[in-house]
Structure 1
Amino acid sequence: MIPKLFQWLLGGGLFIAVWQAFVLEKVDIQLTEIQRTIVLISPLLAVGVFGVISALIVLYRVATFNDCKDAAKELQQQIKEAKEDLSRKGLKFEDT
């Protein structure tokens, strides 16, 4: 299995190699002025699309994040037990 980082680096490297071949006119393909402009700004477009997709994934994961109610109750119980234990040892707590 190929690590994900290697896959991203391979894809990015291939994209840059093809882009550079077009920019340096190493390929024998005639481009119109509009197509040439699109080729020149395609790395910026790729970074922008990557950023938007990343933001959408983060927003989706935050929106669908599971609440662990049982774990929260257990943690509250442990805090209560710790406060009682420390109170018995002489530590005083302020109610907040």
Structure 2
Amino acid sequence: MTKLMEWLLFAVLFFSIWIAVISENVNLHFMKEWKQFVLFLPPVALFVCGLYAATVVLYRTFTFNNCEQAAMELQEQIEEARKDLQTKGIVLKCK
């Protein structure tokens, strides 16, 4: 099962239960006190998901590691390609 299917399954289950509780198709004795809380569950869930996504992006941005060895290897390959192009008669204007 792909991540998309997992998220869609969760969303369908969540919203079907939420709609059933809001429309009072389910007779739960404790829902009288929790009706106001249940009413605002989708915006709260959306806010929590957004907060989680922002936290993950910021964490991965701040802990991004540099690969100094790969950068040096790439620079060497660029210089090698420039020299190869110059031997073939192609003049590069940028450095």
TM class by shorter-chain length?
Answer: 0.7 to 0.9
Give 1:10's aligned residue: 9
> Counterparts in 2 of 1:1-96, with a 5 A limit?
2-29=1-28, 30-32=31-33, 35-96=34-95
How far is the alpha carbon of 1:95 from its aligned partner?
A: 4.8
Cα distance in 1 for partners of 2:8, 2:92 equals: 54
Per the TM alignment, residue 49 of structure 1 is displaced from its structure 2 partner at its CA by 0.7
Change in 2 beyond 3 A, CA 1:95/1:10: closer
Q: TM-score, normalised by structure 2?
A: 0.82
Residue type of the partner of 2:80? E
For residue 65 of structure 1, report the CA deviation from its aligned partner: 1.4
Look up the SS of the partner of 2:53 in the other structure.
helix
User: What is the CA–CA distance in structure 1 between the aligned matches of 2:12 and 2:49, rounded to whole Å?
Assistant: 16
Q: Supply the AA of the counterpart residue of 1:48.
A: F
Q: What is the CA–CA distance in structure 2 between the aligned matches of 1:3 and 1:84, rounded to whole Å?
A: 47
Question: What TM-score does the superposition give when structure 1 sets the normalisation length?
Answer: 0.81
Any stretches of 5+ residues in structure 1 without a counterpart?
none
In structure 2, stretches of 5+ residues that fail to align are none
Give 1:62 shift: 1.3
Alpha-carbon displacement from aligned partner over 1:9-53 (angstroms, at most 9, x marks no partner): 332222112101111101223424xx3232122111111110110
Find the aligned partners of 2:56 and 2:6 in 1 and give their Cα distance.
19
> Percent identity among equivalent residues?
42
Give me the whole-angstrom Cα distance separating, in 2, the residues matched to 1:27 and 1:95: 71
